[in-house]
Each structure stands twice: as C-alpha cells, then as structure tokens.
A = this chain, B = another copy of it.
C-alpha cells in the first residue's frame, strides 16, 4: 500500500475505533500480544538481519544496541500490550459538564484524535508500544519507523494486524509507513487525513518534523535539565538528588545535565559533590570557580551549558544568587525538568513560579518526571511544548474532546 492508501484506510478505521468499547479494545490488545508472542522466532530472525545490516554500515554499537531485540525485549513488548489492556479507557470520560440557564445540557467528553502519526528512530519496541497506546486511546496509527529497523517493524506490524483481525477489529488501525524521505514529507503534510504527529527521537528528528509539518505536532522532549543547589540546601540531600538525577540512567531526557551551585554553599557542597560524582564515573565540565575545587573537573566549553550529554558528563557553574540561577536556566532550559534543592520556602516558591518548564522540582530527583513514576501506566513521551499536553503524556493526553449539547428544542434569543 502506498502512503495515501494507508492514510485513507486509517481514516476509515478511525471511525470504527472511535466507537469501540473498552472491552473490545482490551480483547484486541491481548490478541495483538498473543500474535506478537507467537511471531517471536520470525521477529528475532528479521531483527538479526537489521542488526547485521546496521553493523555492516558502520553504525555505532550504542545505536545497534537500541536496534537489537532479544527474547526478553520481545517479552517486554508483549507485556506492554497486556499492561495497556489493564488501564482505564480515557475515551468517553466526561471532562466537565453543566446546564445552561435554559436547561440545555453541555458535556465535554473525551474522544480520540482520529489518526495519529508517529515518527521515530531505531528502537523497534516503539512499534508495538505506540500501536498499543494508539489503539487503547481509540486512534488509528501510522507508524513511520527507521529504515534501519524495517525488517523488525514489518514482522511486528504484521503480527499486530493479525491480532487485530483475530479480535474482529479492522487491521487498518495500524500501518507501517514505508518509503523514502518523500513519504515522510507526505505524512507531515497530510492535513485532513492525519490529526496529530508525534516525533520520538533526538533533537534533529524533532526539529525536522516541526519545520516540515502542517499537521499539528506534539514535540517530545529533549532535556537539558538543571539541578540548582541553593544557599539554603541540605548538603546531603543535594548530593543524593544530584547523583540520582545524573547517574541513575544518564541516557534519558529527564537526567540532569547541568549543576548550578550558589556561591555561599560552594565551599561546603562542591568538594563532597565533586568527589561523589567522580566516584560515580561522572566527568564534570566546570566554570573556573568549579574547576578550582578539583583537578578532576575539566573546563567547560562555551556551548556546554546547552548540551544534552545523555552520558556520564555534567556541566557545572557557581552562581552568585538565585536570580543568576534563574537567569541561567531561562537562557539555557529546554523546558523539560528543572530542580531546586533548598530548605528556604521563599527560594523554592520563586523557583517554582519563575522557571518555565514542563516540570519544576523541589528537593526531589528529576528522574520522577516520567509517566510510569506518575502512575500513568503508559507513556507515549514527555511533551516539552506548551500546547495540548506538557510533561509526561499518558492515555488521556492521546485524546481530544467534543462538546455534546442536548436540549428539547431550545433556540437562542
């Protein structure tokens, strides 16, 4: 099927999906899980071909690792679909409702978007994950995966569609969009057929989608997340939070990338913090004031305060005041998750009020900014834009709403 045919088929499927009961969708999710589990052998084989081609093309091992599937990873994909079946269905939820003075009833009700396009990179597990989240939220999915995962994605989508069919749901709810860059461009400009685009991947991918799309886009996050250690911080707490935010999983968007330290606490905090970071294998890239505290600190280049390392590296800077910290964050934030460590209520209140980000944390690790940690059960990504959804996006964020207005003949005077 070419893209246009797929998009039209998805639009048709969306009409059916919008009125499916939760029970029907959950049955379909389990059938998709069953079909995916049954195709494990073929999927591993297809994935081995993708991995071999990637290695032959000189792809870095870190990317090959994201691409590679194992029986355990496939189990994770299968279990992910079953977990979605256990979650509440957002569709049909009444957001709010009231009566007009003349007795007309107004209800704002959650409805699916319709057709959702997902543009993503090498991880083939996203294919099952995104298809499942779209199905549970009543949306048809156009999955535009990476060409490097094409064989894996084909087997996965084939299994998912077979599962849908076995459950009596139209397989046109899920499509793998194949082809060159021109097809991505078609997807990005398919207004009227595609309701929302969600890019999942690096900053370059997201920028390209934002620039090229006329379909509305929900950006998911790049995170240059700051930890600001205030003059009034509890030093032990600050070290614990910093270490967790930086090292618990450095490759993700809610990991810390920049440390700001108030000058008044630097003498107490920095020697211990730098030692702990060094012990955890973190390379600190510091301003001259930070460098002065340890030989292990390397001087920070001018662009490092804008870096999203995603590695065991951390930019660091000593600031003269809360105001300087706020200014620094304002200049360098990607609007993801920003943290203050302080015992001062006034400092915490100002930080919370003035920092413009999806999440602002006081005395807690930014690693909590996550759909799973929030208890959402599923997460399509973390939005760093301000429209529609900001922060972790669960199933309700995958819906729009509709006003249902019921009367018995009322008209406007």
Binding site for B on A (CB under 8 A): 15, 18-19, 98, 100, 104, 106, 108, 111, 113-114, 191, 195-196, 210-211, 214, 216-218, 234, 236-237, 240-241, 243-245, 248, 330, 348, 352-354, 356-365, 367-369, 373-375, 385-388, 390-391, 400-412
Contacts and interface: CB of A to CB of B under 8 A. Distances in A.
A412 B248 contact: yes
B358 A406 contact: no
Contact of A352 (B243, B358, B404): B404
A244 B413 CA distance: 8
A360 B403 contact: yes
24 contacts: A15-B354, A18-B353, A18-B356, A19-B353, A100-B373, A100-B374, A100-B375, A111-B356, A113-B386, A113-B387, A191-B210, A216-B385, A237-B408, A240-B411, A241-B411, A356-B402, A360-B402, A360-B405, A361-B405, A363-B410, A364-B406, A364-B410, A365-B412, A368-B412
A118 B368 CA distance: 36
A93 B30 CA distance: 39
A411 B244 contact: yes
Given A19-B353, A409-B234, A403 B330 contact: no
Given A100-B373, A195-B386, A353-B19, A358 B409 contact: no
A391 B401 CA distance: 9
Copies, count: 2
Contacts of A108: 391
A352 B362 CA distance: 45
A232 to B, nearest CB: 14
Given A354-B15, A368-B100, A388-B387, A363 B409 contact: yes
A241 B237 CA distance: 65
B362 A407 contact: yes
B410 A368 contact: yes
A19 to B, nearest CB: 5
Contacts of A406: 348, 361-364
B98 A373 contact: no
Contact of A410 (B195, B365, B400): B365
8 pairs of A and B residues whose beta carbons are closest in the complex: A364-B407, A244-B411, A386-B400, A367-B412, A237-B409, A388-B388, A359-B403, A365-B411
A409 B18 CA distance: 43
Given A15-B330, A218-B387, A388-B387, A407 B196 contact: no
A220 to B, nearest CB: 14
A250 to B, nearest CB: 13
B18 A405 contact: no
B405 A368 contact: yes
